[in-house]
């Protein structure tokens, strides 16, 4: 994954979290709807993994 990939993923997730439809997100990012959904899911998984690692270091 490149930094650009992560940025796209994060942007897709942020837009969806702000209530934008998948169709709107896909148009804005010039990608297919399925790709927008996958990208957002990957961003959320990265965030969950990071949170889990951070939680482990607290103990």
Q: What are the residue boundaries of the structural domains of the chain, listed by start?
A: 3-57
Q: In this structure, what is the dihedral angle of CA atoms 22, 24, 25, 29, given to the nearest 10 degrees?
A: 140
| pLDDT recorded at residue 55 | 82
Q: What's the Rg (C-alpha) of the chain?
A: 13
The pLDDT of residue 38 is 97
pLDDT by residue, tens only, the chain of 59 residues:
688 899 999 999 999 999 999 999 999 999 999 999 999 999 999 999 999 888 876 66
Contact 26, 36 (CB under 8 A): yes
Tokens of 58: 């607290």
């Amino acid at each position: 994954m490149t930094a650009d990939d992560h940025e796209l993923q994060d942007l897709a997730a942020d837009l969806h979290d702000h209530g934008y439809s998948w169709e709107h997100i896909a148009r804005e990012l010039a990608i297919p709807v399925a790709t927008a959904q996958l990208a957002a899911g990957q961003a959320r998984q990265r965030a969950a993994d990071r949170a889990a690692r951070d939680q482990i270091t607290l103990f």
